[in-house]
């Protein structure tokens, strides 16, 4: 019985307010709380000739009526600017043809999906225990330090995102130290995108919304049939045979693992790399970062291109230092150009990646959050260890590691990454590139494909890699050199790590050059926890 499942109970407070309903067979099933909600959704599902919802203003009015029929508190009222945002977006920011198509085709299908949410959830829980033999994959809150995986069909993902537009949520907020993504915040921030079009317009907000509306147009025109998985990975500081142990400084210092191949790409984008590899999301500790507000850098853009990634925000609380989140199977729907303020949606994207044995698209994204306000502390052994373990947690195939009793066979997919944590987080790209090489090699990845995005600080990366390879260094050798550099950095006039290894390299010292590259797919996002408390 779904209502008695532990996994369902854990996620129920963060879902729309569904209620158990006694059926004729004496078993409980899920249902919307009253007939006013179902009647309103049924009317929407019949299209504009019945619902009269043919404009942004009327869509907002319909949403407001549905919300009024739900057991929501007064604090969950929508901002007045949201109504203006709905009207402005559909009347001024999309073409008349697109607006007509949205209200005639998309809104009715979304209404039908939301109407069927209770039945879809029941079907999910009936099937989730048979997806992977012996592994629980049901939708649930995956709390910090709780390794696990959730499998959702793309159809369920659509329904979760449909609720973003229809706003059926409890609006539950928690302190920043508690679970970060609660469904209410997820939806409130999404609605804020529309409100901000009136309050503080910026072109990137308009273009982010175009990505989301395009996603719904595509999904509603053709029902998807694949799956997306979301996995919390954990390195255990305690001895636990079911969890990979957290490596110590001695572990890294004594590692004899060979360094994997390191490929350098001065131009191009991580998401354009051939499929099969693990693509790094320069993540916030709160998965998704500012995607539902004003953020529009590496992580947020990726979540706009692959909106099914946003679903992780529902049940994945913040990452601890010994955790990472892997998301496999999310389809890409949109093209874009630009970055941050210059971001633009540029049209449809057809994702031609194949699917794996579990019917997930061959799209693998690993979210790892870098050290904040790195400053000079990033060179200390304690924080070097934090970063290398964070990347290792993400890059390692945990199930393979445990299955083979702490040895990892060669993984087919490499790591595709770049200047992780090197924007506003203040990371040193020379150090970060080496840390990721160490981590990927220890995780038995066959290669690292590193996109420099033209950043001056790593313009000599190819020479450094070539020299290290010529020395036949191991993981331990490179790690020890990083630690040694950190200890000696003050006494050697703070020259960069590359020049420390190869004195023949000229140190780039012009701060203007660093600033010119800081926006190049680094982690340059103006986010403070006080500004966006999820």
Q: Mind listing the pLDDT tens digit for each residue in 175-190?
A: 222 222 233 333 344 4
Q: How far is CA 296 from CA 99, 111, 302, 466, 504, in A?
A: 25, 29, 9, 35, 38
Quote the pTM value: 0.90
Establish if 355 belongs to a structural domain: yes
Which residue has tokens 């790892």? 368
Q: How deeply is 531 buried, as exposed, middle or buried, from its count of CB atoms within 10 A (0-12, 13-18, 19+)?
A: exposed
**Nearest CA-CA partner of 186 in 318, 345, 313, 277:** 313
286 and 431 co-located in one domain: yes
Question: Which residue is catalytic, options 188, 231, 281, 323?
Answer: 281
Q: What angle do CA 115, 9, 65 make, to 5 degrees?
A: 30
192 and 307 co-located in one domain: no
12 and 109 co-located in one domain: yes
Question: Which residue is catalytic, options 206, 300, 328, 331?
Answer: 300
147 and 252 co-located in one domain: no
Kind of pairing, strands 344-348 and 334-337?
antiparallel
21 and 101 co-located in one domain: yes
299 and 179 co-located in one domain: no
Read off φ and ψ for residue 367, nearest 5 degrees.
Answer: -95, 120
Read off φ and ψ for residue 485, nearest 5 degrees.
Answer: -60, -45
42 and 175 co-located in one domain: yes
Size of the chain in residues: 534
Q: Residue 396's domain spans which residues?
A: 228-512
Domain of 242, CATH number, reads 3.40.220.10
Question: Which residue is catalytic, options 299, 323, 331, 508?
Answer: 299
Establish if 398 belongs to a structural domain: yes
Establish if 214 belongs to a structural domain: no
Q: Give residue-wise pLDDT tens across range 51-83.
A: 999 999 998 898 888 888 888 776 666 777 778
**Alpha helices, DSSP H only, in 404-449?**
429-442
Establish if 456 belongs to a structural domain: yes
Q: Give residue-wise pLDDT tens across range 119-131.
A: 888 889 988 998 8
Establish if 424 belongs to a structural domain: yes
Establish if 209 belongs to a structural domain: no
| DSSP sequence for 79-142 | PHHHHHHHHHIIIIIS-HHHHHHIIIIIHHHHHHHHHTHHHHHHHHHHHGGGSBTTB---S---
**Nearest CA-CA partner of 485 in 533, 426, 434, 413:** 434
Q: What pLDDT, on a 0 to 100 scale, did the predictor assign at position 294?
A: 82
86 and 34 co-located in one domain: yes
- Give me the chain's average pLDDT, please: 85
pLDDT: which is higher, 420 or 75: 420
Q: What pLDDT, on a 0 to 100 scale, did the predictor assign at position 238?
A: 87
Establish if 531 belongs to a structural domain: no
Q: Give residue-wise pLDDT tens across range 473-519.
A: 999 999 999 999 999 998 988 899 999 999 888 654 434 344 444 44
186 and 283 co-located in one domain: no
244 and 114 co-located in one domain: no
281 has catalytic annotation: yes
300 has catalytic annotation: yes
197 and 232 co-located in one domain: no
pLDDT: which is higher, 467 or 27: 467
The residues pairing with 369 across neighbouring beta strands, listed in sequence order, are 283
Establish if 206 belongs to a structural domain: no
176 and 299 co-located in one domain: no
Number of domains the chain is built from: 2
326 has catalytic annotation: no
Find the mean pLDDT for residues 292-312: 91
């Amino acid at each position: 019985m779904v209502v008695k499942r532990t996994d369902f109970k854990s996620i129920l407070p963060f879902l729309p307010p569904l209620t158990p309903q006694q059926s004729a067979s004496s078993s409980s099933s899920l249902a919307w709380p009253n007939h006013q909600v179902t009647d309103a959704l049924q009317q929407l599902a019949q299209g504009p000739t019945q619902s009269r919802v043919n404009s942004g203003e009327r869509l907002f009015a319909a949403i407001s009526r549905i919300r009024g029929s739900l057991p929501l508190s007064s604090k969950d009222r929508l901002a007045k600017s949201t109504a203006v945002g709905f009207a402005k977006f559909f009347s001024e920011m999309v073409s008349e043809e697109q607006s007509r198509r949205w209200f005639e085709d998309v809104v009715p299908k979304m209404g039908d999906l939301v109407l069927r949410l209770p039945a879809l959830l029941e079907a999910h829980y009936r099937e989730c225990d048979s997806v992977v033999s012996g592994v629980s994959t049901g939708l649930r809150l995956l709390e910090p330090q709780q390794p696990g995986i959730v499998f959702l069909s793309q159809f369920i993902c659509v329904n979760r995102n449909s609720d973003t537009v229809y706003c059926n949520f409890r609006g539950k907020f928690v302190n920043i130290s508690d679970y970060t993504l609660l469904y209410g915040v997820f939806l409130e921030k999404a609605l804020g995108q529309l409100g901000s079009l009136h309050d503080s317009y910026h072109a990137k907000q308009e273009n982010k919304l175009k990505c989301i509306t395009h996603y719904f147009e595509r999904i509603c025109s053709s029902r998807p049939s694949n799956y997306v998985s979301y996995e919390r990975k954990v390195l255990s500081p305690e001895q636990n045979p079911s969890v990979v142990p957290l490596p110590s400084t001695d572990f890294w210092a004594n590692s004899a693992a060979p360094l994997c191949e390191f490929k350098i790409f001065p131009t191009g984008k991580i998401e354009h790399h051939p499929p099969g590899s693990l693509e790094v999301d320069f993540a916030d500790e709160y998965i998704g970062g500012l995607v539902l507000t004003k953020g529009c850098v590496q992580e947020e853009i990726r979540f706009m291109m692959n909106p099914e990634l946003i679903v992780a925000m529902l049940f994945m609380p913040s990452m601890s230092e010994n955790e990472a989140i892997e998301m496999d199977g999310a389809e890409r729907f949109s093209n874009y150009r630009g970055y941050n303020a210059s971001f633009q949606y540029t049209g449809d994207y057809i994702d031609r990646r194949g699917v794996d044995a579990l019917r997930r698209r061959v799209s693998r994204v690993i979210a790892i959050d870098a050290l904040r306000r790195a400053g000079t502390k990033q060179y200390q052994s304690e924080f070097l260890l934090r970063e290398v373990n964070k990347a290792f947690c993400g890059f390692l195939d945990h199930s393979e590691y445990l299955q083979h009793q702490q040895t990892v066979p060669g993984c087919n997919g490499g790591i595709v990454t770049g200047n992780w944590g090197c924007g506003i987080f203040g990371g040193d790209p020379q150090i970060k590139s080496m840390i990721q090489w160490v981590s990927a090699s220890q995780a038995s990845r066959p290669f690292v494909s590193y996109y420099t995005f033209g950043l001056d600080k790593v313009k000599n990366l190819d020479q450094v890699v070539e020299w290290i390879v010529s020395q036949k260094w191991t993981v331990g050798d490179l790690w020890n050199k990083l630690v040694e550099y950190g200890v000696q950095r003050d006494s050697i006039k703070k020259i960069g790590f590359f020049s420390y290894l190869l004195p023949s390299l000229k140190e780039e010292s012009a701060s203007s050059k660093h600033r010119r590259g800081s926006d190049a797919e680094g982690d340059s996002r103006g986010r403070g926890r006080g500004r966006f408390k999820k």
